Chain A
Amino acid sequence: MFDGLLLALDPAHLLLILAGVAGGVLIGALPGLTATMGAALLVPFTFVMEPSAGLVMLGAMYVGAMFGDAVPAVLVNVPGTPSAMATAFDGYPLSEQGKGQRAIIAACWASAVGAIIGGTALLVMSPTLAAAALAFGPPEFFWLGAFALTIMGSVAGSSFFRGLGGGLFGLLLSTVGIAPAGGTSRFTFGFYQLQGGVSLAAALIGLFAIPQLIKLAENRKQRTRISQYVPERRVFRHIWSELRRPVTLIRSSVLGTFIGVLPGSGASLAGIVSYNEAVRWSKDRTKFGKGAVEGVVSVETANNAAAPASMVPLLSLGVPGSNVAAIFLGALLFHGLEPGPSLFDDTPEIVFAFVWAMILGGIAVFILGRVMAPLLVRAIQAPVYALIPVIAALTMVGSYAVRGNMFDTYMMFVLGIVGYVLMKIGIPVAAVALGLILGPIVENGLDVSLQMAETAGIFTVFFTRPISLVLMALTVLSALWTVYSNVRRSSRTEG
């Protein structure tokens, strides 16, 4: 393990870590470009490097991208990748209040802590976590997705039922395309481009960015800038007041690590669940959605902890649990490393150097984010009339970049208009996005569980497995709590 650390601390490797993080931040910050795309672009360059150098750079790039996606989410309400969707809930309101610098620095602190804790878990608990991940089957995934859906109460805004309606609409949107089982086309209306479903990146850009742009254009006479830059001399003191109570950090790191380990779940789910728990356990739940640093911290810690943790199934079992891990699998194989139980015994220095690179990447994220935050916040001080066209052009590039077709751009625009109409009638677009992200997880879990039940002849798969039972109980309790707290809040408001 320490040989790996020494290898990662090699000056050339440190430079590669910095370069990887910087590249990752850029990729994450550009809407439409994801960590997967960044890894795919970087892998060919690693072919000419030493295995340790190539893997170190890849690991650092991944960590950088997981932080970079928070930057546009905070500054202009456009999540760089789906993982940063929940970052925008509180990050953008902070930016609107002139506290964008605080939000970005909090995000980079949280990202660093998440990457360090997730990386450490990968370093010391890989086999245990892999075994725990194997205990998760379709019923457990179904309940985990359903549990995450209870966050709708936290993002519902003024009306819980309208928030729920938005979430259902998102779930319906997630069913567009070829069904996961059976191969039937659903809601494609003759467009072959919809066979693969609604592009998540394009949908999120449309739902978050286009309504915001239209709102800015509508109010441009009253509001000439997105936010006023307020130099914050005591920014660290403000953030420290949040971070000195490490409960949020620890809870989000643990959730992020565990959810990250589960194959197919991903950093988006980790961020959503973590945000939901931050809201649930907060003494002042009303501050969320209006610019709570704790909200930004909870999401960024979790999705950055999930990034190294998502490598657990790959390194321990040889099973890529995410798209990025699948690309890393190709890189490992090219460099002559066979992922699986014997990997840590056969080439320990290289594998540990890769893991250490993610941890050191977390530290690099902190330094880079701290330096960049004031510059980034100043960049959006341009007048609204100049910023709106630039952001509109970026939405086009972001939606086009994922699959390289204009159809996704048109889809993004249509969903943007739908999002604006929904916003006007009081349905939060965040709830729609939530349904869209969680839909495939819930549907796949439900579908395969039903198949299992049919095969077994009994419909008890959801209730007889201990983890499924616990998750089901948590989901029911969380849903009841959500309804209760929203009804109580409504009656207080009306009273």
Chain B
Amino acid sequence: MNDAGTTAPAGTGTGRRIAFNHDLLSGLALIILGSFAYTWGPGWGERTWVFPNMVSWLMVGLGILLAVIGLARRTREKLFESWRAAVDVSWFSASVLAFFLLIPQIGYFVATWLFMVVQASVLGGRRHPAAVGLIIVVAGLLALGMYQLFGGAFNVHLPEGRWI
């Protein structure tokens, strides 16, 4: 456990890279998941749980093996180049989640248009002023095109939203 969760000096000098022991982390994840899955079910009594239980036990066994390998090797592999990269990833993931959560409220078309414009700008589009206008127009056309294509041609009606 002495490896996990620690940081190592970055080679690039741009920050401290975040490094963990991958085998140990994977092993712990498998042990936790496998134990949870097994305890969630009713045990070996019901036939419908035989297969999930078998898989759970195998996960726990493999998890222990991986954890032992991890402790024996004591190596660390990087997770992120720097804390800045971890923040970037969190921001991006949160914005995608916000986009998905907004869809039922404001509808697919508006949410997608907004998301595309904001994301394209934040990810680098704002450094190209000439591209901003193009992004706004193309994002609108793409969102509308997708909405029409799926609704009209494939009979898949994308969410319309409660507020708009």
Contact residues of A with B, CB < 8 Å? 27, 33, 37, 41, 159, 161-162, 164-165, 168-169, 171-172, 175, 179, 181-184, 186-187, 210, 213-214, 217-218, 220, 224, 383-386, 388-390, 392-394, 396-397, 400-401, 404, 406, 409-410, 413, 417, 420, 424-427, 442-443, 446-447, 450
* Contact of A400 with B158 in the complex, beta carbons under 8 Å: yes
* Contact of A427 with B26 in the complex, beta carbons under 8 Å: yes
Tell me the bound Cα distance from A159 to B27 in angstroms: 12
User: Smallest CB–CB gap between B152 and chain A, Å?
Assistant: 11
Chain B residues in 8 Å Cβ range of A389: 115-116, 119-120, 123, 139
Q: Does B41 contact A (CB under 8 A)?
A: yes
Q: A33-B156, A187-B37, A217-B123 are in contact. List 10 more A-B contacts (CB 8 A).
A: A37-B154, A162-B22, A181-B48, A186-B52, A220-B124, A417-B93, A425-B20, A425-B22, A426-B26, A427-B26
* Contact of B48 with A179 in the complex, beta carbons under 8 Å: yes
Chain B residues in 8 Å Cβ range of A394: 146
Q: Does B44 contact A (CB under 8 A)?
A: no
Contact residues of B with A, CB < 8 Å? 20, 22-23, 25-26, 29-30, 33-34, 37, 40-41, 46-52, 55-56, 58-59, 62-63, 65-66, 69, 77, 79-80, 85, 88-89, 92-93, 96-97, 99-100, 103-104, 108, 112, 115-116, 119-120, 123-125, 131, 135, 138-139, 142-143, 146, 150, 154-159
Question: Contact check: which of B26, B48, B96, B156 meets A213 at CB < 8 Å?
Answer: B96
Tell me the bound Cα distance from A438 to B155 in angstroms: 30
User: Smallest CB–CB gap between B99 and chain A, Å?
Assistant: 7
5 A-B pairs with CB atoms under 8 Å apart are A186-B41, A384-B124, A386-B135, A386-B138, A396-B99
* Contact of A393 with B142 in the complex, beta carbons under 8 Å: yes
* Contact of A165 with B63 in the complex, beta carbons under 8 Å: yes
Taking chain B's interface residues, is the majority helix, strand, or loop, or is none over half, making it mixed? helix
Q: Given contacts A187-B40, A214-B93, A393-B112, are A406 and B100 in contact (CB under 8 A)? A: yes
Instruction: Identify which of B50, B52, B104 gathers the most chain A CB atoms within 10 Å of its CB.
Output: B52
* Contact of B100 with A409 in the complex, beta carbons under 8 Å: yes
Instruction: Identify which of A168, A179, A392, A413 gathers the most chain B CB atoms within 10 Å of its CB.
Output: A168
User: Smallest CB–CB gap between A171 and chain B, Å?
Assistant: 5
Taking chain A's interface residues, is the majority helix, strand, or loop, or is none over half, making it mixed? helix
Q: Given contacts A159-B23, A172-B37, are A388 and B119 in contact (CB under 8 A)? A: yes
- Of all A-B residue pairs in the complex, the 5 with the closest CB atoms, nearest first, are A179-B48, A385-B123, A385-B124, A182-B48, A389-B119
User: Smallest CB–CB gap between B26 and chain A, Å?
Assistant: 5
Tell me the bound Cα distance from A210 to B23 in angstroms: 23
* Contact of A401 with B150 in the complex, beta carbons under 8 Å: yes
Question: Contact check: which of B66, B79, B112, B123 meets A384 at CB < 8 Å?
Answer: B123
Chain A residues in 8 Å Cβ range of B115: 389, 392-393
Closest to A184 in B: B48
Chain A residues in 8 Å Cβ range of B22: 159, 162, 425-426
User: Smallest CB–CB gap between A449 and chain B, Å?
Assistant: 11
Chain A residues in 8 Å Cβ range of B93: 214, 417, 420
User: Smallest CB–CB gap between B64 and chain A, Å?
Assistant: 11
* Contact of A168 with B62 in the complex, beta carbons under 8 Å: yes
Chain B residues in 8 Å Cβ range of A41: 154-155
* Contact of A162 with B26 in the complex, beta carbons under 8 Å: yes
Chain B residues in 8 Å Cβ range of A184: 46, 48-49
* Contact of A413 with B26 in the complex, beta carbons under 8 Å: no
* Contact of A413 with B100 in the complex, beta carbons under 8 Å: yes
* Contact of B158 with A161 in the complex, beta carbons under 8 Å: no
* Contact of A385 with B125 in the complex, beta carbons under 8 Å: yes
Question: Contact check: which of B47, B55, B97, B156 meets A171 at CB < 8 Å?
Answer: B55
Tell me the bound Cα distance from A182 to B104 in angstroms: 35
Chain A residues in 8 Å Cβ range of B97: 413
* Contact of A397 with B25 in the complex, beta carbons under 8 Å: no
Tell me the bound Cα distance from A27 to B150 in angstroms: 10
Tell me the bound Cα distance from A184 to B93 in angstroms: 34
Instruction: Identify which of B85, B123, B139 gathers the most chain A CB atoms within 10 Å of its CB.
Output: B123
User: Smallest CB–CB gap between B111 and chain A, Å?
Assistant: 9
Q: Given contacts A214-B92, A406-B159, are A447 and B30 in contact (CB under 8 A)? A: no
Question: Contact check: which of A165, A183, A224 meets B26 at CB < 8 Å?
Answer: A165
Tell me the bound Cα distance from A384 to B41 in angstroms: 44
Tell me the bound Cα distance from A169 to B34 in angstroms: 9
* Contact of A410 with B100 in the complex, beta carbons under 8 Å: yes
Chain A residues in 8 Å Cβ range of B158: 397, 400
* Contact of A386 with B125 in the complex, beta carbons under 8 Å: yes
* Contact of A386 with B120 in the complex, beta carbons under 8 Å: yes
Closest to B124 in A: A385
* Contact of A175 with B62 in the complex, beta carbons under 8 Å: no
